[in-house]
Chains A and B, each alone.
Chain A
Amino acid sequence: MKRRSFNLGLASSLAAPALIGLGSSARAADGAKPTTIRIGFPGAGTSGRPLPTSGYTANVVFLGELEQEFKADNIKIEWKYYVGAGPALNEAFANGLLDFCFGHGDLPLIVGRSTGLKHKIIASSGRGGDVYLLTPAASQATQVADLKGKILSVQKGTATQLVLYRFLAKYGFTEPDKDFRIISQIADDRRASLATGDIAGTIDTPWGLEARGITKRLAEVHDDININAPGTVWVGEAFEQQYPDIVQRVVNRLVKVAHWSSQDANREQQYQWWTRSGTNAYLDNKKEWDRVKDLRTRHSPLLDDFYKAKIQKSIAETRQYRLTRRDTPFEGWLEPKYLNNALRELKLENYFPSQSVDGKFSG
């Protein structure tokens, strides 16, 4: 082989992979439908088990709804579970690796949009819940004030950070970063630190940990609308514009599963599924969710007045706590048409009770 042709061949062989676009995220699309739909969850099971933790969006996975929906079209559903929670999900979306998110917490959702991530909110992934401030089992603390100046752990950048801040504000600590030393840990590390006593407190589900003698409850609030904010289902703007029919079909299935999940007859099945991730024990799921008399109030996909007001309040709090340096435009963020179509098609327009700005249910 002559040198010139050798060089040419070599250069071509090196450049070829680049030209044909090698890569795991290569997604040949014919314009009408994608080859894969990539859906992210902000979390994974214990030790990174690729399973969702709870909520009706988790049930979509267990029921295999989307796989059934798109089987005939030969569209693959790619589930992604991020140990790094909401922040990791932002990083993945910023690098073009996601189409949907099934349950983003308010803080990473808001900061993501403030930094330029382009997505459309198409449903709520659920709302409400109880919050427990836990301390190590051997802690001498008897009230929240006893933890002042000590280490509290939360995964910063996640919705739980805002929950912790609101929780502390309820007990009179409006400047949490000054009153406490707040460090960032993922869920598994937080629980390990709780067990070893390396932290003074954290927000978590108590029953499984209490049963193991790891923790005790210092304070708790139940279904306080001033502490919790709804979760969000979003779709990437580019995907939404390119495949509106696909988005509609996804939302139809979501609403169908939200309806299924809100049936009392299906409580037990859900508790069992959510236990599989290992994040919460069966006991945790049962104790927490048995308190909910009407599951429709939790498994609600609605983008009602309450949802809008809570997200706007979270935007203000994000600025107040200096968790973002930019404004987060709310206008044009929500795209409720897919949800409305789905509710109409499934004849569920009046099924889920809507919530007013002050948290009262109606309907």
Chain B
Amino acid sequence: MHSFKTTALAGAVLLALSGAAAQAAEPSNEVKALKGTVDELRKQIEDLKRAQRSDADALEKARLDELRKQVEELRVQLKKQQVAKPAEVTPTPAEGESQEAIDAKTPATKADVQGLRTDLENYKYDQSRLQERNIPSVTRNTKIGGSITLQYATQNPGVPATTAAGTTLQGEPRKNGFVAPSVGLNFTGNLYRDYQEGKNLDYRIAFLTATNVGSNANAYNATGKANPNGSQFNLTDAYIKYSFQPQTGNAEDPLGVVILGQQIVPFGQDAQALDAEVRPVINGASYVSGLGFNNRQIGLVVSGDFQPYVDYTNNYRAPLLSYAFGLFNGSGPNKSDNNSDRDFSGRLVFTLPVDYASWFRQLQIGASYYRGYPTLGGTSVPSTGAADNTVYPAAGKGNSNRTGFDINWTHLPYSISYEWVYGKDALAAPTAANPDGFRRGIDQYINFGYTWGEQFLNSSKQQGKFDDWWPKSYQAFFRFDTWDPNASEAVLRTLNSDRKQYISTLGLNIFFAETTKFQIDYIHTRYDLQGVAPAALSPKSTNGLLAQFNATF
């Protein structure tokens, strides 16, 4: 641009001068003088052009030098920044920009990272010391659970005075009182975790105070037999469990486990039901204790299900067929076997494969069978004869059968369950009461329940809440249970415990926290006196009230 301007200026001067020369051509002196002037000017222009060219070169050179200098300075600055601590960058917030937006674009400094690292190290140190000193530890994953049950009972007419062995000494009829607390403690955990398929190996150990019978058994007279002020602490469950079917959390996967050890026998509905929606009553069905299913047995059980139907749109899973088969010693808990025969138990439950919205949801039909080979004679007592303490002569091995049928429809808010169980036990020898040498017990009950509240809904239990929220629920029920402990007895029965009983229970359960409930049952029991006049020890009927807090953790 610069040289273009210079050339244009020189051209213009030449044109102007050449025009003036043409007009003054005649006088030769003037022409010569002008010619000299033109030459002079031409020379000056040439000089000027040369001078300007050299200025431009110098200027360009100066600029180049300046640029080189700047580049060098930048290079030095860059090197300095690479080795020096970066300056804290605090972005200038735009108008109306939120703190979250500013945070999102603010880089962390090295000091920030170091601070975080220090905090992390402090936390690690703190945790390490806590683990050494204050935190209990286990070798394998373990969950500790338990329960506390506190009861108050009334009965009219009261429990008669007794001085009989094996009971609490009682000088007058007892109409009411607090019941000895029952406490359970259990440990469940994992021995091997299969991360790929969930074929895990787990264990469970459980203890129960006061009595080693089921958690709902009445411990009224059972406490402190050995030590008047003590309690029993009995091992109930002790088993390991292997999942032979994959358990990846997919509800469509069938379940299948093998359980080895001391455990509940898979028989019947009421004996195994842990869900309060299915079994709302405090005292279980009469057959549970009457036919010996309140005792754990030592053995091997295979259980699982087939073809689970899953209604994902309602979180509902209904296995078409559930099964459980087991082999047991049959001699009871915490004892080795007393013969070489294994008892057998089997249970099948069919569940209708319907959607959650169907009225037939959770309609289940079950059948159970148990065959045992008890040792008869000596001091053994047939399980149906709770009050029969007859000492039989040694007679070797007998057999006992149990058959059960149950139907259950649990369709919130309604629940109905019915169960029928028949038991037949060989006696060591025929007796006057059982001339054919067998004792037979028959039980059946029906239960109607209605629930207000969301206690039994998975969706509600898993609702997002900030506090220790739990859906409070109220469950009312009525149960009618008939139990004949010795259906084949041919003679008049003298004890109410041997007589046919009709037990009506009206109850209310209040679920007021996640694992704690209050239950109150009104129990009316009528005895078949077979025409005999009622007496103090054998009233025609009793009325009782049983209230309990049951808390699990």
Chain A residues in contact with chain B, CB under 8 A? 3, 6-7, 10-11, 14-15, 17-18, 21-26, 44-45, 48-51, 80-84, 86-92, 94-95, 97, 107-108, 111-112, 115-117, 151, 156-157, 161, 183-185, 189, 196, 198, 268-269, 271-272, 275, 282-283, 286, 323-325
Contact = CB atoms under 8 A, between A and B. Distances in A.
Given A14-B507, A268-B96, 17 more contacts: A7-B524, A14-B506, A18-B452, A18-B474, A25-B454, A50-B466, A82-B464, A86-B313, A87-B312, A88-B315, A88-B458, A88-B459, A92-B460, A95-B457, A97-B460, A157-B311, A282-B103
Contacts of A156: 251, 310, 312
Contacts of A184: 249-252, 312
B314 interface: yes
Contacts of B98: 268-269, 272
Contacts of B252: 184
A84 B315 contact: yes
A99 to B, nearest CB: 15
Given A50-B465, A50-B466, A91-B458, A189 B412 contact: no
A50 B465 CA distance: 5
A275 B313 CA distance: 27
B453 interface: yes
A51 B464 contact: yes
A24 B506 contact: no
B464 A91 contact: no
Closest 4 CB pairs of A and B: A44-B464, A157-B312, A23-B452, A88-B459
B234 interface: no
B249 A185 contact: yes
A72 B250 CA distance: 48
B370 to A, nearest CB: 35
A18 B450 contact: yes
Contacts of B97: 268
Contacts of B506: 11, 14-15
Nearest to A185: B249
A90 B313 contact: yes
B298 to A, nearest CB: 36
A225 B434 CA distance: 80
8 contacts: A7-B524, A10-B545, A15-B506, A17-B474, A82-B459, A88-B462, A91-B457, A282-B101
A11 B195 contact: no
Contacts of A17: 474, 476, 508
B117 interface: no
Contact of B249 (A25, A115, A117, A183): A183
A120 B457 CA distance: 24
A90 B314 contact: yes
B152 interface: no
A157 B457 contact: no
Interface residues of B, number: 53
B314 A81 contact: no
Given A11-B522, A156-B312, A183-B248, A24 B472 contact: yes
Contacts of A84: 315, 458-459, 462
A95 B310 CA distance: 18
Interface in B442-467: 450, 452-454, 457-460, 462-466
A275 B103 CA distance: 13
Interface in B18-38: none
Nearest to B250: A183
Interface string B456-496: 01111011111000011110100000000000000000000
Contacts of A183: 248-250
Nearest to B316: A91
Nearest to A83: B462
A283 B356 CA distance: 39
B520 interface: yes
Given A50-B463, A92-B459, A3 B543 contact: yes
A318 B250 CA distance: 20
B109 to A, nearest CB: 18
B357 interface: yes
Interface in B354-376: 355-358
A15 B506 CA distance: 9
B452 A22 contact: yes
Contacts of A82: 459, 462-464
Contacts of B357: 94, 112, 115-117
Contacts of A90: 313-314, 356
A317 to B, nearest CB: 14
B100 to A, nearest CB: 5
B473 to A, nearest CB: 7
Contact of B476 (A14, A45, A86, A325): A14
